């Protein structure tokens, strides 16, 4: 009964190899051995009590391959994540294909080849740009050209025209342009430009408490944002 309790609501009749191996990570390791692949080090992603058997994690130099199970259909969900950045996501019912993809990712297969070899995995929008070493231009291009940002286009274009802001990683959130000094990593320094009523804008530097000002025009807001960026927050 204890083993059944640890399984939760997952129907392990759909996953006999996992039930027999005792955990998803063990089943993946056994499948790798049968295929002549090296998946040493695959482990449970999390533990509750004496262990949760339905998740697994494979570490690599490009983050983690995270695997978990659907409860009512035979589906292995897969996410490849490095910090807060997601490289690829997918789902398959084939344990052998899942294992092969995990090994290929850990061994450094290029993202384009990875997507071709494992069609159940979908690359995220910035995966190829991140692999090339500079996702910032690709992110700007998306904000500048995607139809979903048509309303915010003047703000994005004005910020992109300022070379000091163009090197930052941009995001739009509820109308605010957030310019990150570290690729959008949570907690990194950001310059925010937020439209207000009557053509005014608020500019804020998240690295300096209370550092916000209102600008009377879009160009004034861009100038203020660049000046904020030029300041050393450690000296404030």
Per-residue pLDDT tens digits for 128-176: 999 999 899 999 999 999 999 999 999 999 999 999 999 999 999 999 9
Q: Which two tokens stand for residue 156?
A: 């994005």
pTM of the entire predicted model: 0.77
Do the bridges between strand 201-205 and strand 85-92 make them parallel or antiparallel, or are there none, so unpaired? unpaired
The residue among 15, 14, 76, 72 whose CA lies nearest residue 45 is: 76
Please tell me the predicted confidence (pLDDT) of residue 75.
97
CA 137/CA 154 separation, integer angstroms:
17
DSSP label at 43?
Answer: B
Q: Which two tokens stand for residue 99?
A: 């294992």
| pLDDT tens column, 107-141 | 999 999 999 999 999 999 999 999 999 899 999 99
């Amino acid at each position: 009964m204890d083993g059944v309790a640890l399984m939760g609501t997952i129907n392990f009749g759909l996953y006999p190899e996992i039930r027999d191996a005792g955990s998803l990570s063990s089943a993946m390791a056994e499948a790798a051995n049968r295929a002549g692949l090296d998946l040493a080090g695959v482990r449970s992603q999390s533990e509750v009590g004496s262990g949760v058997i339905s998740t697994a994690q494979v570490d690599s130099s490009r983050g983690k391959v995270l695997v978990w199970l659907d409860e009512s259909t035979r589906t292995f969900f897969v996410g490849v994540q490095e910090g807060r950045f997601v490289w690829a996501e997918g789902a398959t019912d084939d344990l052998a294909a899942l294992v092969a993809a995990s090994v290929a990712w850990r061994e450094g297969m290029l993202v384009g080849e990875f997507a071709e070899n494992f069609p159940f995995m979908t690359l995220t929008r910035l995966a190829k740009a991140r692999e090339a070493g500079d996702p910032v231009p690709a992110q700007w291009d998306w904000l500048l050209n995607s139809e979903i940002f048509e309303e915010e286009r003047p703000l994005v274009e004005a910020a992109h025209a300022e070379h000091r802001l163009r090197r930052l990683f941009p995001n739009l959130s509820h109308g605010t342009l957030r310019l990150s000094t570290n690729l959008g990593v949570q907690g990194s320094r950001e310059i925010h430009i937020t439209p207000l009523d009557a053509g005014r804008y608020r500019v804020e530097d998240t690295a300096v408490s209370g550092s916000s000002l209102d600008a009377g025009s879009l160009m004034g807001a861009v100038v203020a944002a660049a000046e904020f960026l030029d300041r050393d927050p450690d000296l404030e």
